[in-house]
Amino acid sequence: MTTPAPHDLSLPPYDLLVLLGATASGKTRLAVQLAEALDGEIVSADSRQVFRGMDLGSGKDLAEYGSIPYHLIDLVEPTEPFSLFDYVQRARPVIADIRRRGRWPILCGGSGLYLSAIVQGYQLTEAPPDTELRRQLDVLDLAQLRQHLRSLRPQLHNQTDLTERARLIRAIEIATAEQQAETLPVEPPHALVFGLRWPRPLLRQRIAQRLHQRLADGLIDEVAQLQRQGVSWQTLEFYGLEYRFVARHLQGQLDFAELCQQLSQAIGQFAKRQETWFRRMERQGLVIHWLDGQADPFGQLRQKLRSLALITTGPRP
């Protein structure tokens, strides 16, 4: 039996393929299928997969990649700072290098801010800690800090910056540095964007099933090991979701049943926020070609490429 020839992809108008979706939607598996068909490499757009040792909680699923090269996973220790600026500084050269080598970069993830920064060409400025500015901000209460940040950045990308004092101060620091810097506009890539989605009740089921599997695979032990290695309870709380709730369980604040119930609910709420972010990207003019997770999403993806006259079957030239 002869092996079918791989698909030949010719995308003159595009230089980046994007696959986004809510947590537990099956993005990694679909991205691997796409990379296998199109001779591509996967670039992670996940704010927690950059950290070593945060495997089950961040959903790295490294075994799924097989022989497909992947990038921007396991970059730094979880005790090291890593910002959106750091991510963009690494992601843009990686994407360019994949293109230079004649392969297709496939940006895959669900961290809305990271996706937007690449796809929509955010202009970012390095902002080292500013001791004098922090001293001035220390005397302000939360309401004053929020007002100050909104005055610097009326169209705030990340609303979570408004919820915690440390994040507010850091966001003000970054916004102040951006105002003071002279930077050139960033040309966004010509991205062809696909989104994977499920009806919400089914997505909730997938979230619950995946959570129970990860707990069975050792999620609690993973968080305990991170804490033993020097990642503080406060830092684990900051990383949110699995790390926040398992850390509370390990400190005796939640029993196992409460952990499962509260964490599953929190992940469901996070998925809703992800979907809200994707709708916001569409309102800003980004075209997302949505795929139905229930009905052979890879087949839908190939059909969409064919309908755009961007994919043919047959041997590579």
Is 304 annotated for ligand binding?
no
In whole angstroms, how far apart are CA 130 and each of 33, 99, 174? 45, 37, 10
63 is in an annotated binding site: no
Rounded to 5 degrees, φ, ψ at 204 are: -60, -40
26 annotated as a binding-site residue: yes
CA–CA dist 278, 111 (Å, integer): 10
309 among annotated binding-site residues = no
| The residue type at 21 | G
Check the annotation: does 24 bind a ligand.
yes
Long-range Cβ contacts of 75-81 (<8 Å, 24+ apart):
75/50, 75/51, 76/50, 76/51, 76/52, 77/51, 77/52, 77/53, 78/51, 78/52, 78/53, 78/54, 78/226, 78/231, 78/235, 78/239, 79/230, 79/231, 79/235
Q: Which amino acid is at 18?
A: V
Question: Would you say 21 is a known binding-site residue?
Answer: yes
Rg (CA), the chain: 21
Query: Which of 183, 193, 21, 10 minimizes the C-alpha distance to 119?
Result: 193
Task: Name the nearest CA neighbour of 241 among 204, 209, 222, 268.
Answer: 268
Which residues are known binding-site members?
21-28
Which residues are known binding-site members for ATP?
21-28
Which residues are known binding-site members for substrate?
23-28
